[in-house]
Structure formats: structure tokens, C-alpha cells
């Protein structure tokens, strides 16, 4: 039976028995504490972290019903860490983005582009895992559903981001949105998330074809 036809019910170890997940939680806690200490724009930091708080709360609330693989938790932690790092400076003024700008002679700070690409590249696999292990879909739909989910989430984020800036703190809109004068910023961000998700799904398909197994067995 191929990987695309079988879902291993033993995937995922609960937090209390998962040293790897505990280490990830501790590492992210360190990033969070660092980010929360004297951020460049404190009010913007809270705005940036609102959805992260909601995401983490959802993971905790649903942990007893659905436990991701260690691979998915590592990808989620990496994305949250990148976002939390950006929130400390704002995406438009991140130190890494400034370094990248100088190193590659870019016209703007591209840290926001890196994170939006990573949103698709890193979070499409946990979405794929939900699709396979919860809905048990197979074949092409197992890849189409997480891809479409990332497209929807990316577009939804841009909408929520815009309304949050308008309603909560209009004066911080520019810092929060990080458009840096680019009128096509939202469309470019969504395109990068789409590209990242397609690359990751292609790698998943290649791994399955090569090994006959699902990637979630890695690190279990």
C-alpha cells in the first residue's frame, strides 16, 4: 500500500510525552520573551502578535483532539519564530531585512517577502497533514486542498491585516502593514505564499514517490 493510500494512526506524540515538542516550545518561548522586551514600536508589536496569539491558543485548545507530527510542529515553530522576530522591529525595519537589502543591493527591506514565502512553504505541510489524517482524502485532492487553504489563508490575512490597521490603530497603519510604498504589496505577498506552498507540496510528492512513505514519519 502506497503512502498516498495509507494514513498512519500512530503519528503524533502528546506534549507531556514529547521531548522534541517540549524543546520547541522552550525555544519559541525564548524568542517570544526576547521579542517582547523593548520592541521598536510597542503598540505595533501587539498588533503584529494578535494573530500569533490566536494561532497558538488554537493549537493548545485542539491538542488533545489532534496532535501534529514533530515535523509539522518544527515547521510551525520556525514560522512563528520568524514572525515574532519581525514583530520586534516591524517587518519593514527588521535587521535581517536591512542586511539582505545591503548584501543584495535591493531597493527595499524584503523581510516581509521572506516571511510570506515562508508562510506558504512552512505551513502548507501541517495543512496537508490535517487534510490526510482528518479528512482522509487521497490522490490529487490531498495536495489541492492544502494548496487552496494556503491561498485562502494568505488572502484572508491581507484582509484582516488591513481592517485591523484601520480599526485598531490607523496611525500605525504604515508600520503595521509594511507596504513600504508598494501599491502591489498584498498581491506580491500572496503570490510568494502561493509559490512557497507549491514548492513544499512538490517536495512532499517527491519524497513519497522516492520512499513510499509520508514525511510525517520523520522524527517520530
Report the domain count for the chain.
1
Check whether 178 has a pLDDT greater than 80: no
| Residue among 173, 149, 151, 150 nearest 161 (CA) | 173
Instruction: Check: CB of residue 125 under 8 Å from CB of residue 187.
Output: no
- Per-residue pLDDT of 51-104, as tens digits, reads 899 999 999 999 989 999 999 999 999 999 999 999 999 888 899 999 999 999
Residue 3 included in any domain: no
Of the listed ranges 27-31, 45-49, 119-123, the least confidently predicted one is 45-49
Range of the domain at 200: 12-217
Enter the pTM of the model: 0.86
Round to whole Å and give the CA distance between 76 and 80: 6
The predicted pLDDT at position 2 comes to 47
Q: Over the chain, what is the mean pLDDT? A: 86
The predicted pLDDT at position 91 comes to 86
Residue 4 included in any domain: no
pLDDT level of residue 34 (50, 70, 90 thresholds): very high
Amino acid at each position: 500500500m502506497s503512502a498516498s493510500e495509507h494514513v498512519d494512526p500512530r503519528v503524533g506524540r502528546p506534549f507531556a510525552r514529547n521531548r522534541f515538542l517540549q524543546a520547541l516550545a522552550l525555544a519559541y518561548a525564548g524568542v517570544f520573551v526576547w521579542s517582547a522586551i523593548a520592541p521598536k514600536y510597542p503598540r505595533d508589536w501587539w498588533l503584529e502578535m494578535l494573530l500569533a496569539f490566536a494561532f497558538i491558543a488554537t493549537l493548545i485548545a485542539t491538542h488533545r483532539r489532534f496532535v501534529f507530527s514533530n515535523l509539522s510542529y518544527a515547521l510551525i515553530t520556525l514560522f512563528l519564530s520568524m514572525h515574532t522576530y519581525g514583530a520586534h522591529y516591524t517587518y519593514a525595519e527588521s535587521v535581517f531585512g536591512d542586511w539582505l537589502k545591503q548584501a543584495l543591493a535591493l531597493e527595499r527591506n524584503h523581510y516581509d517577502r521572506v516571511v510570506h514565502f515562508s508562510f506558504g512553504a512552512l505551513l502548507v505541510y501541517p495543512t496537508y497533514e490535517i487534510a490526510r489524517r482528518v479528512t482522509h482524502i487521497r490522490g490529487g485532492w490531498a495536495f489541492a486542498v492544502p494548496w487552496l487553504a494556503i491561498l485562502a489563508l494568505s488572502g484572508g490575512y491581507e484582509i484582516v491585516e488591513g481592517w485591523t490597521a484601520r480599526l485598531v490603530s490607523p496611525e500605525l497603519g504604515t508600520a503595521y502593514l509594511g507596504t513600504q510604498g508598494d501599491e502591489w504589496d498584498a498581491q506580491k505577498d500572496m503570490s510568494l505564499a502561493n509559490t512557497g506552498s507549491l514548492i513544499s507540496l512538490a517536495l512532499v510528492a517527491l519524497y513519497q514517490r522516492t520512499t513510499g512513505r509520508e514525511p510525517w514519519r520523520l522524527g517520530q
